Amino acid sequence: MDYREVTGGREFVARLDHGRDWREQIEAFAADEGIDAAFFFGLGAVQDAELYFYDQDEKTYFPETFEEPLEVAACVGNVSHLEGERFAHTHAVLSRADGTALAGHLNRATTFAGELYLREFDTELERAHDETTELDLWPL
């Protein structure tokens, strides 16, 4: 395991905008505030969602789209740089009216309502290609 000690910086709470993409508005917020590394937690509801599942044998993401209202029962993610842009790596557990859950890597979702807590770190993280997994990971 590779690691790096970091010191917590600013903390934020935010209300996500209705109708905007869940992940993109976190990235826009991070860019506006100059946040180079952070972890965040969120909850709320979305009007649709596209989840990715990473196939470990094929080494590729498979998308699954859901065109229905969903609760964001839990959302966790981090902010770092990917190809020079801020990237909010976002995972979510989404629930349906009957309480069943969908979960995965959240690529996009139209926000109905959302609340976010974000903690910045005093470092910069730039993702780099990892040959073992073929994913863009933190080179710590």
> What is the closest distance, in whole angstroms, from the C-beta atom of residue 115 to Zn ion in the complex?
21
> What is the closest distance, in whole angstroms, from the C-beta atom of residue 77 to Zn ion in the complex?
8
Strands (E), 1-133: 8-16, 38-46, 49-55, 60-66, 70-82, 85-95, 101-108, 111-121, 128-129
Distance of CA 114 to the CA centre of its chain: 13
Q: By rule CB under 5 A, what count of residues binds Zn ion?
A: 1
Kindly tell me which of 45 and 103 has the beta carbon lying closer to Zn ion.
103
Residue from the set 20, 105, 108, 127 that interacts with Zn ion by CB under 5 A: 105
Sole window of 71-79, 98-106, 111-119, 126-134 interacting with Zn ion (rule: CB under 5 A): 98-106
> What is the closest distance, in whole angstroms, from the C-beta atom of residue 7 to Zn ion in the complex?
25
Sole window of 27-35, 40-48, 104-112, 121-129 interacting with Zn ion (rule: CB under 5 A): 104-112
Kindly tell me which of 51 and 70 has the beta carbon lying closer to Zn ion.
51
d(CA 117, CA 16): 11
Q: Let me know: does 116 contact 12? Beta carbons within 8 Å.
A: yes
Nearest Cα neighbor of 84 from 8, 31, 20 is 31
Write out the residues near Zn ion by the rule CB under 5 A.
105
